[in-house]
Amino acid sequence: MAVFKIVEVGDPVLREKAQPVTKITPALLRLLDDMTETMYAYHGVGLAAPQVGVSKRVIVVDAGKGLYQLINPEIIAVAGSETDREGCLSIPGVWGEVTRAAAVTVRGLNRSGETVEVEAEGFFARALQHEIDHLDGILFIDRALKIVKG
């Protein structure tokens, strides 16, 4: 496995709409594993493929509920709303107050190509929404009510 360099704000790949995955290949599974290793190496709780320079609809998240690797994830239900502080590995040293759904249901494929649904609330829901935003070229600073540097 490998640790990727994190792509930082200003790189055009972070503003692209990532391409859907059409086939699960050994290269895609390696990408999932490398993204997971990268997320842990940088002490993150989530990582989207565009953050490692790959315009594919793939995310990994571990917000304390175990590791989730999702292919072509989409939010299919939301409930409530809450505002909290967010940061991003692609925007080091910057934090923002962001309002997001308090609970979400996300549907995607697991690494075996099976459809899975993940129900999440609180910080886990926030992390999923943050990473799925990356797949649409949206950064947390686009949604922030207030930005804090440092």
Q: How many domains does the chain divide into?
A: 1
Task: Tell me, yes or no, whether 7 lies in a domain.
Answer: no
* Residue 49 known to bind ligand: no
Residue-wise pLDDT for 19-78, tens only, equals 999 999 999 999 999 999 999 999 999 999 999 999 999 999 999 999 999 999 999 999
Residues of the domain holding 62: 12-149
pLDDT (0 to 100) of residue 112: 97
Confidence of residue 88 (pLDDT cuts 50, 70, 90): very high
Please state the φ and ψ torsions of residue 136, each to the nearest 5 degrees.
-110, 15
Residues classed as catalytic: 131
* Residue 128 counted as an annotated binding residue: no
More confident residue, 1 or 8: 8
Residue 97 — very low, low, confident or very high, per pLDDT cuts 50/70/90? Answer: very high
Confidence of residue 122 (pLDDT cuts 50, 70, 90): very high
Report yes or no on 47 lying in a domain.
yes
**Residue 149: its pLDDT value, please?**
86
- The whole-angstrom separation of Cα 47 and Cα 132 is 9
Is 66:60 a contact under the CB 8 Å cutoff?
no
Paired with 119 in beta bridges are 105
Q: What mean pLDDT is predicted for residues 141-146?
A: 97
Whole-model pTM: value is 0.97
pLDDT, position 50:
98
Structural domain includes residue 124: yes
Q: Is residue 5 part of a domain?
A: no
Q: Is position 1 within any domain? A: no
Residue 110 lies in a domain: yes
Q: Dihedral sign for Cα 80, 81, 82, 88, please.
A: positive
Q: Any known ligand binding at 43?
A: no
CATH number of domain containing 117: 3.90.45.10
Average pLDDT of the chain is: 97
